[in-house]
Structure 1
Amino acid sequence: MAKTTEWPVRLVLTEEDGTTRARAELDTGTRTLTGHGRARCNPADPDVPVIGDELAAGRAMKDLAGQLIKLADRDLAGVGAAPPGHERHALYGWTDELA
């Protein structure tokens, strides 16, 4: 049987002094997760507010996506579905471990 679930995401953008901040709030019905993102205009670049909005929003959603993956990994481990010793490595960013 098919199932459809809707998880609303609220994205709030604020800009002050050349810095745009974004907050992405996800409500799954059982928990709420919040992702954060920030973008700062380089003083040498032209001030185009929509670019700051796009970058900050994208970074907030990327943060939120990372939180969802970590949550799913913990839930899989909790029901014994994760392979032993399995640890998902970030697809981006720096890590202090060798893959």
Structure 2
Amino acid sequence: MPRHTQDWEVGLHLFEDGTTTKAHAVLDIGNTAVTGQGTARRNPHDRDIPEIGDELAAGRAMNDLAHKLLSIARTDIEGISRPGP
């Protein structure tokens, strides 16, 4: 019996603007692209350590993407669980 395997890649784009870091995550799942957004804001009084803003914004974007992907799966499950005509 053949096994189902797939490789999915997530593109993660980070943008820094002053004290704000924004992240945009994109997952192409064949018939559609799922996107997630994340933002991190540094207190102007804190030290400027860009890696921390990157990690927070990226984590939040991936979390947003995960929630959207789970919502798509839930909708697909509901679609096949409904009784036919």
Task: State the 1:55 CA deviation.
Answer: 0.2
What residue number does 1:35 align with? 36
Aligned to 1:29, the other structure's residue is in SS state: coil
Where structure 2 has 5 or more consecutive residues not aligned to the other structure, the ranges are none
Higher normalized strand content (fraction of residues): 2
Separation in 1, partners of 2:8, 2:43: 35
Higher RCO (CA 8 Å, separation ≥ 6 residues)? 2
Q: Is 1:16 aligned to 2:22, yes or no?
A: no
Task: State the 1:44 CA deviation.
Answer: 2.2
Runs of 4+ in 1 over 2 A off after TM superposition: none
What residue number does 1:93 align with? none
**1:29 is matched by which residue type in structure 2?**
G
CA RMSD of aligned residues (A): 1.0
Separation in 2, partners of 1:12, 1:23: 5
Separation in 2, partners of 1:71, 1:3: 19
Count of residue correspondences: 81
TM-score normalized by the length of structure 2: 0.90
Higher normalized helix content (fraction of residues): 2
Separation in 1, partners of 2:19, 2:44: 8
Q: What per-residue deviation string (whole Å, max 9, x for no partner) do you get for residues 4-24 of structure 1?
A: 101111000000111000000
Separation in 2, partners of 1:31, 1:63: 16
